[in-house]
Amino acid sequence: MPPPMRIKLPVEVADLIRNLHPRIKRKIRSALGAIQTDPMSGKQLRGELAAYRSFRVGRIRIIYREKDGIIETVAIGPCEVIYFETTVLLKQPPHDV
């Protein structure tokens, strides 16, 4: 079995996780571990987000993709708005830090 892949979290996503309720935080971390072990475990998205996958954690979704051997987590949020917000986020030009 190959070693787990590395997960890349944007600062905004890491901050969001850090500020969640401890019970939800544990579930998110467990889900990230499952994604790290099996990147294909999430559902393949369609349309503008076809390059990404979605992993379900209750009503929360983790949007990610595997690229160059790294799991890139794009967004985490409630299923009601996360797909729309992710589409808007990906259309924005990258900003310099």
Half-sphere exposure of residue 52, counting CA atoms within 13 Å on the CB side?
19
Q: Which two tokens stand for residue 7?
A: 């997960």
Are 35 and 42 contacting, i.e. CB atoms less than 8 angstroms apart?
yes
What DSSP element (H or E) covers 8? Answer: strand 6-8
What tens digit of pLDDT does each residue of 38-97 get?
A: 999 999 999 999 999 999 999 999 999 999 889 999 999 999 999 999 998 888 876 654
Output the pLDDT for position 84: 92
In whole angstroms, give the CA distance from residue 43 to residue 49: 11
Domains by residue range for the chain, with CATH: 6-91 (3.30.2310.20)
How far apart are alpha carbons 13 and 74 in whole angstroms?
A: 8
